[in-house]
Amino acid sequence: MIFLCLILSSMLSAGNAEFDRTASEGAARITMGRFVRSLRLSGLPSGVLSSEMLKNPESFSSRTAAVERCNSIYLSKTAEAFSNKLENVRRTLSLGSSFEYALSEADMKSLLDKFPAAFERERREAVDQQAKNLVSATRPTEKEFEEKPTEQLKREMAERIVKAQKQAVFEENLQYISEKIVAPVLRSAEDELKRQREYLMRARSDASSPTGLKSELEERLKANVSERSRDVPAEEAWGVFPSVLKDALPKAVERRIVNKMKARMNDVKLNVDVAEVAKIISGDIASHAKYSASEKKFAFIYSCAVLTNALEATLREARESERAELEDFLLRRMGSEDVIKALEKVVRREIMPKWKVARAEIASTAAKKIWPSLDDGTWYPEAYLADEVLSRSDYIKSIRAWREIKGLESLARSSGDKKVMEESLKFADERVKAAFELARSAISAQNKTVDSTHESVLSEVKAKKAVSPVTLNEVISMITDATEKMWSKERVAKLWSDGGAPKNAAEQHVALFPSVKNRIELLARKILEEIKKEELSQAKSETEEKIEGSSDAENETMEFKISVIKTSNQVEVKLLKGESTVLDKQVELKYLPFENAMKEVSRKLGREILSLP
């Protein structure tokens, strides 16, 4: 019985141990669960992988190898962390190895998914940490810098730097070395090379001869480089580059001497004498008639003068002992592109504008002398000539070629056989054109005047017709009188409204132009037609009765023919009534004359049909 009681008691009191054990195991499970969750969220603590990489960079230099190694490290570290935590929990809660906690597949997968981001982060850390500690005192020599291609030099320098490190360099840092260490050194060399070249151009020197200047510049350059190497950090200090002494120095000497001469060119002040220019031009008018040819000749003359003056000024500034060498040097370079361009620029900018003004003056004087009537505006074309030229459809072209117009030969030959300056000819062209424009304005104004007489003359004719018959010539005469009266009043004001009337204004375009007279005739005919129409409309019915009850003689058929014969430069228009010719017109092969002719034919035909006079 006692035995049974003992068994029962041991069963009941086992709850005490179970209570503690359950709580401990539960706490352990919760703690481990939280630990796993935190691992899933944030992965391993930072620095685990980067410290491995930095401890043993040889094994991690290649990124591919690093990924592989870090993956296994990550797994083992995760397992280790888990195991350590489990051990810790067991120890803390006195659970012993009987308490087990395993990671689920989902946990494992989640932890492994954290690896890529963790690797990237820690790789970056390791690479940056290594980059900070990269040591480099590697620099190329000046000779190396100039002789080797840039890419080769970059490669070699990077290799030297890598070798100089105490440990392997991560793959990513090779680019860092190239960009952040090598490139700045090469840029510094490039800048220094450029600076030395520029220094040669601006360094002070009292020497003028090439030899003297060269040795002085070389000395100053070396002193400058030496001084600079003391003042700047070691990585920016360079010696004199070989190419500077070999190439840049001679070029600098040449440029400086030539620049000095170019500066003297800019200082040259040449006067352009009009009389002198006129003398040269008149001495060889054939060569100077064309503006461009004359400009070239004078540009050459002035260029020689400028160059001579500049050379003398440059030599004057040099020491006596240096002049011979300097002169020889400059003379050999006179024809260089650089000097020619500078010379042309000076001549074009400073001298040729003055020459241009002088030439314009000379040409103007010559033109006025040859064509005084064009100058004072007293010349004007004859009325018939103006009409003839202005009636052409291409009258502008004709005026431009005024020298070929019949009737202007004497004006064209005013200069005789001598060559005339281009500008003078242009002067004459413009004045002739202006004169023809004036004549055109006169024609137009006269035509308007003719048109304005229509109503008054119509009334006058009607009034006169009531008394006695009025002929065509009478109507023409009425219109002409009226037009001439009006024209004489308004002529000067209409032609020279700006008040610039020439001294023979009273003579110019006084008479009516032939085309205006034609217009007058047409108007007269029109007026008569209008009157006739009026009369006809009254007698229309009588005329119609007449036609209906007409005799055989009035019913006879009339046949009219219109013939148009075109030759090379003329058109012949005929109106034939039966076998007889009623109207025969020959006109130029141009649209307007032809149109006028056809109108006349139509009018005539109408009169014939209607038996009008």
Partner 1 sequence: MTQSGKKALMKIACGEKAARASVDDLQSLLLQIVFALLMIFIIAYFIFVEETKKERAEQVLDLNRQKLVLALEKTVENHRIKYGLNALMTQGTDGSRIFDASSHVHGGALSLAPAAAKAFSAGSAAAFQDYSDAEKLHESWVKEVMEAAAVGELGEEEKAWLNDAVAERIEMVRLDTRGVQRALAARLQESLIESSSSLGTIEDANALAEAIKLKSLEMIKKEIGAEVLP
Which positions touch partner 1 (CB under 8 A)?
Answer: 1-2, 4-5, 8-9, 11-16, 18-24, 26-31, 33, 89, 92-93
Cβ closest to partner 1, residue 5 vs residue 558: 5
The whole-angstrom separation of Cα 288 and Cα 363 is 11
Cβ closest to partner 1, residue 5 vs residue 286: 5
Shortest Cβ distance from residue 99 to partner 1 (Å)?
11
Cβ closest to partner 1, residue 95 vs residue 605: 95
Contacts of 333 (CB under 8 A, 6+ apart): 254, 258, 339
Q: What DSSP state is assigned to residue 244?
A: I
Cβ closest to partner 1, residue 33 vs residue 606: 33
Cβ closest to partner 1, residue 2 vs residue 41: 2
Q: Residues 123, 127, 132, 135: what is their CA dihedral angle, to the nearest 10 degrees?
A: 150
The whole-angstrom separation of Cα 361 and Cα 358 is 5
Cβ closest to partner 1, residue 21 vs residue 228: 21
Cβ closest to partner 1, residue 19 vs residue 384: 19
The whole-angstrom separation of Cα 555 and Cα 253 is 114
Shortest Cβ distance from residue 19 to partner 1 (Å)?
3
Shortest Cβ distance from residue 38 to partner 1 (Å)?
11
Shortest Cβ distance from residue 179 to partner 1 (Å)?
47
Shortest Cβ distance from residue 3 to partner 1 (Å)?
11
Shortest Cβ distance from residue 114 to partner 1 (Å)?
22
Shortest Cβ distance from residue 165 to partner 1 (Å)?
44
Shortest Cβ distance from residue 43 to partner 1 (Å)?
20
The whole-angstrom separation of Cα 265 and Cα 315 is 13
Helices (H), 148-273: 150-164, 171-176, 183-202, 210-231, 242-243, 249-267
- Determine how β-strand 560-566 pairs with β-strand 580-588: unpaired
Cβ closest to partner 1, residue 94 vs residue 477: 94
Cβ closest to partner 1, residue 24 vs residue 62: 24
Shortest Cβ distance from residue 84 to partner 1 (Å)?
14
Residue 588 parent element (H or E): strand 580-588
**Greatest alpha-carbon span in the chain:** 183
Backbone angles phi, psi at 139, to 5 degrees: -140, 145
Residue 586 parent element (H or E): strand 580-588
Q: What is the DSSP string of 521-583?
A: HHHHHHHHHHHHHHHHHHSHHHHHHHHHT--TTTT----EEEEEEE-SSEEEEEEEETTEEEE
Q: What is the DSSP string of 51-72?
A: HHHHH-HHHHSSHHHHHHHHHH
Cβ closest to partner 1, residue 3 vs residue 591: 3
Burial of 540 (0-12, 13-18, 19+ CB in 10 A): exposed
Shortest Cβ distance from residue 187 to partner 1 (Å)?
55
The whole-angstrom separation of Cα 71 and Cα 417 is 106
Cβ closest to partner 1, residue 19 vs residue 300: 19
Contact 414, 370 (CB under 8 A): yes
Q: How many CB atoms lie within 10 A of CB 495?
A: 18
Cβ closest to partner 1, residue 10 vs residue 555: 10
Contact 255, 203 (CB under 8 A): no
Contacts of 515 (CB under 8 A, 6+ apart): 387, 391, 443, 447
Shortest Cβ distance from residue 109 to partner 1 (Å)?
23
Token pair recorded at residue 471: 């002929």
Shortest Cβ distance from residue 125 to partner 1 (Å)?
28
Cβ closest to partner 1, residue 30 vs residue 610: 30
Give, to the nearest 10 degrees, the angle between helix 274-283 and helix 291-317.
Answer: 130
The whole-angstrom separation of Cα 290 and Cα 419 is 10
Shortest Cβ distance from residue 95 to partner 1 (Å)?
9
